[in-house]
Structure 1
Amino acid sequence: MRVRKPRSRALTAAVAALVLLVTGCSGGQTRDDRTIRLRFQSLAWQKESVDANKELVEEWNAAHPDIQVEYVQGNWDSVHDQLLTSFEGGEAPDIIHDASDDLADFAYGGYLADLSELLPERLRSDIPEQSWETTTFGDGIYGVPFLQEPRVLIANKKILESSGVRVPTAVKPWSWAEFRQVTKDLTAKMGEGKYGIAWPLKEPVSVTLNLGLSAGGRLFHRGDDGKVTIDFTEGDAVVPGTIHDQVDVDGSASRGTLGMGGSDSLPGLFGGKYAMVPLGFSYRQQIVQQAPEGFEWTVLPAPAGPGGPVQGVSPQTLSVSEDSAHQKEAVQFIDFMLRPPNMVRLAKGDWMLPTGMRALKDPALHTQKDGWATGAALAGDLRPAPAQSVRGYPEWKDKVATPAYQEYYSGAIDEDELRKRLVEDGNLVLARYQR
C-alpha cells in the first residue's frame, strides 16, 4: 500500500499555500522574476562538512540562475521536533537533510514526497538496494540515502600492540566472546584504574541494536499483516550481555563512561585510561584534531557474530517536502549534490562513507591514513538498522528502551527485567501506531 497524506494534512497544506500566495515569502515559490527559489536545510555541523555543503550550493546557484537554492542551517539535536512543527505550519524546507531512522513517521504521516517517479536512473542504480531499503516505506521512497558510518573500535595503538593480543582485521574481526576476553586481558595488563574498553552509552539504543545484527539480533519482527512486534531472542541478548558483563562482571569496561557521549570519552582514550572506545566512523576527525602530540591510534572493525561483521546503519538522507511547489527541481538539486565526485566531497567533509558505489571506489577513501581503508572494507556489510521502518520507534526508544538499557548496563536490573520492559512495554507503545 502506498503511503497517503491524511486529510487533515491536506487541509493544513491548502491553508499554508493560500497564506504563501498572499505573502509571497516562502521558499519553493516562483517570485516575480520567474526564478524558482528552494530552501535546503542542512544538518552539517563539522566545519569541513558545512564548507562542502555551502560550496556545492554556490556551484549549483552559479550554474542554475533560474533555480536558486538557499542554504538553511539545521541542528541534529532538535531536528525531529523542528521538522514536525514546520510541517504542521506549512513552512517546511523544500529539501530536507535528516537520517533514515527519523523518516518513518514523517513518511507515513504524509509530510514527505514520494520520490519513486522523480529520481533519475543514474542515482537509483548507483546506490545499492540495501541502502534504498532504509528510505522505503510502503511502496514509496521518501529519501535518498547518501552518507553512512559503521561503528568501529578506536584503539590506543601502543597499548594494543604491547599487550600481545590478536589484532583484528575487517576480514577476521574478533568474535563477541573473543572481544570480551581481549578486554579482560588488556585490563589486567594496564593496571589499576584502567580499562580495556570504554562504552560511552548516553544514547544506548542505536548502538545496541545496530551491533546486534552481527549476532543475529533483530528485536523487531514484521508479521504477515504488516504489523511490527518486539521479541527478545538469544541473538538479541549477545551484545547487551557482553557490555553488561564487561561492566558488571569482569570490570574490564569503565562504569563511569556509561552516561557519556562519544566525545566525552576521548580524553580518557588519549590519556591511556581506556585501551579502546567503540565510536562512529566520523569521530576520527575529532581524534585528528584533539589528540595530543605523539598519540598513536588505529581503527579496528567492531566484533562480529557468525554472519560476519554485519551491522545496522541509518544513513543520512535528503528528502523533499510533500508541500514543496517544485519537487522536480528539488530532486534535480539532490541529483547534483550526489554526483559521485560531490558525494566524495560530502563524505570526506563528514568523515563518513558514501552510499554510492562509484563514489565509494574513490582512492581517497581507501588510504590507510586515519583508518579510511578499514571503514571502506566494512561498507559491504552495512545493513538497514533494525528499527528503520518501525512507526513509533522514537517514542519506544525514548520512553522504554533507553532507560531499560541504561539500567541493565549499570547493573540495576537483570536480563529478565530488560526483556520484559523491551517486549511488554515496547509492544504496548508500537500497538498505538499500528491500529
Structure 2
Amino acid sequence: MRTRWILALVMGLLLTACSSDDGASDGRVTLRFQSLAWQEESVDANKELVEEWNATHPDVRVEYVQGSWDSVHDQLLTSFEGGEAPDVIHDASDDLADFAYGGYLADLRELLPERLKSDIPERSWETATFGDGIYGVPFLQEPRVLIANAEWLRESGVRVPTPQEPWTWQEFRSIAKELSGEGKYGVAWPLKEPVSATLNLSLSTGGQMFHRGADGKVTVRFDAADEVVPRTVHDEVNTDGSASSATLGMGGSDTLPGFFGGKYAMVPLGFSYRQQIVQQAPKGFDWQVLPAPAGADGLAQGVSPQTLSVAEDSPYKKEAVEFIDFLLRPENMVRLALGDWMLPTGTEALKDPALHTAKDDWATGTALAAGLRSAPAQSVRGYPEWKDKVATPAFQEYYSGAIGIEELRKRLVEDGNLVLARYQR
C-alpha cells in the first residue's frame, strides 16, 4: 500500500509539472508576445506576422498578447515581480533602464544573430545598451518634424526647407514671426510634456544636458548649446508673439483642429502624426512635412526607439530571439514601419521604395534617419524623477514667461543634481 501511495504521489507531481510547462509536454514551446501596437494598421501587421510565424514553426507557437502604452511600465513591473512576464516584450528604449538594471531583462549580446546585429546601426543599439549589456532590439523610430500648411507657405513666399537645406533655429524663428499676424500664429508648440522634446531637439545645437564624469556619475549642466531651443520657444511665445501660449499645455493631437482651421502655419510633431492628419484633415487641406531646424550639429536629433526585449525569467530565450529575428527581417520591418507610420532602424528596410515616396512625405522623414541618435537621458538613472519633479515644471514656467533663463538654469542644475545624486551613491 505504502509503495502504491508513493508512486501515485510521484506521478501526480510529474503531471502537474508537465501541465505547467507552457505546452512542453507535447514537445511544443509557447511564447507569449506582448505587443503595444494600437493603430489598426499596426495591430493588423503584428497579428499577421504572428500568424505567419505559427504557420511555419509548428514546434514554437507564439501567443499574441495586447498591451497598452498608457500602463506598460507598471504592468510590466507587476508581471516581472510576480513571475508572469511575457517572453517577448514590446516597449520603448527610454523605459528599459530600470528593468535592465533590475535584472528583469535578458542580456541579448550572445543571443542575437549576426544578420540582425549588423543590419541595425550602432547608434540605434546604443539606445538599448545599459552598462555592458544590450537589453532590447530597437526597431521603430520617428524624428520630430514640422507639419506645415503648404498653401500658407506658398502664399507667404518664404524659403521652404529641405533635409539638404534645412532652416537654422534663427531662421525658423524669423519665419515663424513672418507667418504670424491677425490672430494667426506661425507655429504652435504642443508642450504638455516639454522635457523630451526640448532635450531631443537640442542635440542639433550640440546640447547634451547630462554629462558623465570619469567616475561614471552623471551630472546636469545647462550650457550655451542647451539654451538655443528653449530660448527659441520662449521668445516665439513671449517676445515675438509668433507662437500661441494656449498650445503650451496641449498634446500633439490637441493642436490639429486649430491647424486644420488655419490658426497655425506649422506644428512640431512626431513623424507618425501624419496618419492622424491623413484621417482627420478636411478634404482638400494641403499639408507637408518639413525637417526640424538644424544647429551646429546639423539635423542630429534624439530618439527613443520602440524595442523588443526578452524576459530574463523566460525559459525560451533562444526561441524568443529567433521570433524577434523573424519579426525584424527587412521586409517585415517595413510592414511594421508602414503600419505605425514610423521609420525602421534597419539599414536594409530603410532602402525599401515604399519609404521613399512623395506621398504622405515618407521620403522627407526617411532622409532624416541618419541624424537620429540616442536620446540624451536614455541611460540616466533617476531621470524619471528629475523629469517629473524638476524639469517639467521648470520648462513649463519658463516657456510661459513666468521665470527667466537663469532661474531655469538654477532649477535644472542645482535641484536636478540633488535628485540624480541619490541614484548614484
TM range (shorter): over 0.9
1:85 aligns with 2:85: no
CA–CA separation in structure 2 for the residues paired with 1:81 and 1:236: 32
Larger radius of gyration: 2
Greater alpha carbon shift after TM alignment, 169-178 vs 386-395: 386-395
**CA deviation digits over 1:144-193, x for unaligned, max 9?**
000000000000000011011111010111100110000000003xx2x2
**CA deviation digits over 1:249-278, x for unaligned, max 9?**
111001111111111111111110000000
Matching residue's letter, 2:73: H
Give ranges in structure 2 of 5+ residues lacking alignment: 1-14
1:187 aligns with 2:177: no
SS of the residue 2:249 aligns to: coil
| Corresponding residue of 1:311 | 301
Shift of 1:418: 1.1
CA–CA separation in structure 1 for the residues paired with 2:333 and 2:44: 14
Greater alpha carbon shift after TM alignment, 62-71 vs 145-154: 62-71
* TM-score w.r.t. length of structure 1: 0.92
Q: Contact 1:105–1:392 at 8 Å: present in 2 too? A: no
Q: Contact 2:19–2:25 at 8 Å: present in 1 too? A: no
Q: Contact 1:29–1:326 at 8 Å: present in 2 too? A: no
RMSD of aligned Cα (Å): 1.3
Matching residue's letter, 2:188: A
1:52 aligns with 2:45: yes
Matching residue's letter, 2:154: E
Shift of 1:79: 1.1
| Corresponding residue of 1:328 | 318
Greater alpha carbon shift after TM alignment, 278-287 vs 384-393: 384-393
SS of the residue 2:73 aligns to: helix
Shift of 1:25: 7.9
Matching residue's letter, 2:50: V
Matching residue's letter, 2:118: S
| Corresponding residue of 1:393 | 383
1:297 aligns with 2:287: yes
Shift of 1:80: 1.2
Matching residue's letter, 2:336: L
Q: Contact 2:138–2:305 at 8 Å: present in 1 too? A: yes
User: Equivalent of 2:268, from 258, 273, 278?
Assistant: 278
Greater alpha carbon shift after TM alignment, 193-202 vs 408-417: 408-417
CA–CA separation in structure 2 for the residues paired with 1:405 and 1:25: 54
Shift of 1:391: 1.1
**CA deviation digits over 1:114-136, x for unaligned, max 9?**
00000000000000000001111
SS of the residue 2:268 aligns to: strand
Give ranges in structure 1 of 5+ residues lacking alignment: 1-20
SS of the residue 1:285 aligns to: helix
Q: Percent identity?
A: 78
Greater alpha carbon shift after TM alignment, 194-203 vs 399-408: 399-408
Greater alpha carbon shift after TM alignment, 169-178 vs 73-82: 73-82
| Corresponding residue of 2:405 | 415
**CA deviation digits over 1:283-313, x for unaligned, max 9?**
0000001000010000000001022111111
CA–CA separation in structure 2 for the residues paired with 1:201 and 1:259: 6
| Corresponding residue of 2:119 | 126
Following superposition of structure 1 onto structure 2, how do residues 192-341 of structure 1 map, counting pairs within 5 Å? Answer: 193-341=183-331
Distance 1:195 1:22, change over 3 A: farther
* TM-score w.r.t. length of structure 2: 0.95
Matching residue's letter, 1:381: G
Q: Contact 2:42–2:340 at 8 Å: present in 1 too? A: yes
CA–CA separation in structure 2 for the residues paired with 1:23 and 1:431: 46
**CA deviation digits over 1:87-134, x for unaligned, max 9?**
111111111111111111111111100000000000000000000011
Distance 1:161 1:323, change over 3 A: same
Shift of 1:428: 1.5
Q: Contact 2:18–2:25 at 8 Å: present in 1 too? A: no
Shift of 1:32: 2.4
SS of the residue 1:196 aligns to: strand
